[in-house]
Chain A
Amino acid sequence: MSTLKPEINSQDHIQGDDSASVTIVEFGDYQCPYCGNAYPIMKEIEETFGHQIKFVFRHFPLANAHEFAFPAAIAAEAAGLQGKFWEMHDALYENQYRLNGELFDELAETIGLDLEQFQQDSTSEEIKRKIEDDFDSGVRSGVNGTPSFYVNGTKFDGGATDLYQMLKESAE
């Protein structure tokens, strides 16, 4: 059974209650259509199960297959430096159908980032390393494609819909 390595730590982007009983980690790629499909379902999971859920996103860009996957991950991290990781995360998935190299600045403006700072941060080596660390963590944790989910540290064998179903059944 594959487990999450390393465990959730201060480098992670975490949404939801600290005391939540269920922690979901997604390894995702902003250009992957399957991740795009999972996005609204993850939102629904967060809404339905509220305080019971903590959600963590780690990057797993398939950079050869998806040319904008890595730049998109950079955009999310750069927004994170201004405290708006999740705003960019949402905007990227909501605009995945028109993802291209020019989209990032536009989204940065839309979510109210300091554009100059955003552009400067987008060239940061540290951000690049953070994304590579996430990828590394995915590889070590047995990620075999995107999206891959981990529930309380153990690899979940299924997609977002299966995850929703599982949570619903265990809540009943």
Chain B
Amino acid sequence: MLEKGATAPDFELNATPDQKIKLKDFKGKNVILAFYPADWSPVCSDQMALYNEMLKYFNKYDAQIFGVSVDSVWCHLAFEENRKLHFPLLADFEPKGAVSKAYGVYDEELGESKRALFVIDKEGKIAWSYLSPIAVNPGADGILDALEELNKK
């Protein structure tokens, strides 16, 4: 797993069938990448549902959050619509898990992304990363602490 100080590998992933997100386009902004195993986990304990409530916090720190899993864009769309998510979910779908692998957070056995968080600074360097046990939703306090730290610089 990539650690603090490493350059965040660039990527280009679909957020919708016709919209691609390039990491390098977000230079000058803090970026949060939340890798997670799969769409459609139970609602109340769902990590994405939590981040959805926190967008104004992330905004305050000039940070954009992206969820990343190996689900397809269509699956992401249905999931976003069902859960009323207001931030992009990226499809690490083809070649499967390539971006997760580049960040060192792909589970070969399950064929899914691990549950991992990265905070990337405005220059594209990893400022903080965290790997959570697969069944444990890591919450958001670590992300906020990392963003706060960046703000102090």
Contact = CB atoms under 8 A, between A and B. Distances in A.
B104 interface: no
B84 A146 contact: no
Nearest to B145: A140
B53 A135 contact: yes
A171 interface: no
Nearest to A157: B136
Q: In the complex, which of the residues A33, A135, A142 has the most CB atoms of chain B within 10 Å of its own CB atom?
A: A142
A95 to B, nearest CB: 19
B2 to A, nearest CB: 23
B141 interface: yes
Interface residues of B, number: 22
Contacts of A32: 43-44
A136 to B, nearest CB: 8
A118 B52 CA distance: 30
Contact of A140 (B50, B52, B141): B141
B67 to A, nearest CB: 14
Contact of A144 (B43, B50, B84, B86): B50
Contact of A145 (B46, B57, B83): B46
A146 B43 CA distance: 10
A66 B52 CA distance: 12
A34 B45 contact: yes
Nearest to B52: A64
B44 A139 contact: no
Contact of B43 (A65, A140, A142): A65
A62 B137 CA distance: 15
Nearest to A28: B44
B47 interface: yes
Contact of A29 (B44, B52, B137): B44
A127 B85 CA distance: 26
Given A62-B53, A145-B45, A145-B49, 15 more contacts: A29-B44, A32-B43, A32-B44, A62-B50, A64-B49, A64-B52, A64-B84, A65-B49, A65-B52, A139-B141, A140-B144, A142-B139, A144-B50, A144-B136, A145-B50
Interface of A: 2, 29, 32-35, 62-65, 135, 139-146
19 contacts: A33-B44, A35-B44, A62-B43, A62-B49, A62-B52, A64-B83, A65-B43, A65-B52, A65-B84, A139-B140, A139-B141, A140-B141, A141-B141, A142-B141, A144-B45, A144-B47, A145-B45, A145-B137, A146-B44
